[in-house]
Amino acid sequence: MSHDHLIELATSVAVGAGELALARRRAGVTVAATKSSAEDIVTEADREVEALIRSRIAAARPDDGFLGEEGDEAESRTGLTWVVDPIDGTVNYFYDRPAWSVSVALVEGDPRAGGRAVVGAVFNPVGGELFRASRGGGAWLGERRLQVNADVPLELALVATGYAYQAETRIRQASIVEGVIGRVRDARRIGSAALELCDVAAGRTDVYYENELSPWDYAAGALIVEEAGGSFDIHPSDGMAFMVAGEPALAERLRALLVELGQ
């Protein structure tokens, strides 16, 4: 099957899932469980949306693997695995803040050990924005081809980041931000890793870093950044690996600063 068919499936599934999630948000949100902490919530909609994605992909590609944030997992018989975050930015979703998305990627190889996305789609249902990419085919927002911002010095960069759910980790992350913010134009945080990556690809921010992301957080967004001319790299650190995404030279300068600050 060509990449065209794969990206068509990824985008169709992401949009359908997003429409369901938006309908459930308008009807009212119920917290179903918590995960790593009391702040790390799972809604009933997360589970329902993941089940919809799983069923649609299984019907179209029954031999592919599946890895979903809410625990649905199936082994691949093709070497390809769908990596899905049904609602990326669940806390935003819970509070009815418009920065949440559905992320769908098809990854070649092991998603937890260096597998690379073949296609990816990130859909923001509230804004109606559909980001998509295929490897070698560019990154797109609607009919606009995306390109990361180039030739931005670190001191003039708009930097995006995110925080963990555990309080002690957030405290450590905040100390790093304190060191970064005086060395760049400014810092932003919207609370959805997938959308942060898409914003870098679209030139809405210059570079993005975050700690301890899972494959479903970044699989689609990383491909979108790369196909927009950026880099996406995960770096080892002292107990808390971090990723940096952006125009390659700028991303490297930010990485070096983070290491200097004790990241």
Same domain for 120 and 66? yes
Instruction: Grade residue 239 by pLDDT with cuts at 50, 70 and 90.
Output: low
pLDDT at 36: 54
- Find the CATH number of the domain harbouring 65: 3.30.540.10
Same domain for 230 and 213? yes
Same domain for 50 and 97? yes
CA distances from 120 to 14, 105, 194, 198, 239 (A): 10, 4, 11, 11, 29
Same domain for 135 and 33? yes
Choose the final residue of a domain: 145, 174, 200.
Answer: 145
Choose the final residue of a domain: 119, 145, 171.
Answer: 145
Same domain for 7 and 36? yes
User: Is 85 labeled as ligand-binding?
Assistant: yes
Per the structure, the count of domains in the chain is: 2
Residues 125 and 103: their CA atoms lie apart, in Å, by 11
pTM of the prediction?
0.94
* 42, β-bridge pairs: 33
pLDDT digits (tens, 9 = 90+) for 34-53: 655 555 557 888 999 999 99
Same domain for 190 and 137? no
Same domain for 21 and 140? yes
- Find the CATH number of the domain harbouring 244: 3.40.190.80
Same domain for 65 and 94? yes
Same domain for 36 and 127? yes
Of the ranges 22-31, 100-109, 195-204, which one carries the lowest mean pLDDT score?
22-31
User: Residue 160 pLDDT more than 50?
Assistant: yes
pLDDT at 1: 46
Are 201 and 139 contacting, i.e. CB atoms less than 8 angstroms apart?
Answer: yes
pLDDT digits (tens, 9 = 90+) for 46-96: 999 999 999 999 999 999 999 998 887 899 999 999 999 999 999 999 999
Same domain for 78 and 10? yes
Same domain for 246 and 130? no
Same domain for 110 and 219? no
Instruction: Grade residue 240 by pLDDT with cuts at 50, 70 and 90.
Output: low
Choose the final residue of a domain: 122, 145, 168.
Answer: 145
User: Is 69 labeled as ligand-binding?
Assistant: yes
138 is in which domain, residue-wise? Answer: 3-145
User: Residue 17 pLDDT more than 90?
Assistant: yes
Looking at the chain, list the stretches that DSSP marks H as alpha helix, in order from N- to C-terminal side.
Answer: 3-27, 44-60, 90-94, 167-181, 193-201, 215-227, 248-260
pLDDT at 249: 98
Residues 159 and 156: their CA atoms lie apart, in Å, by 9
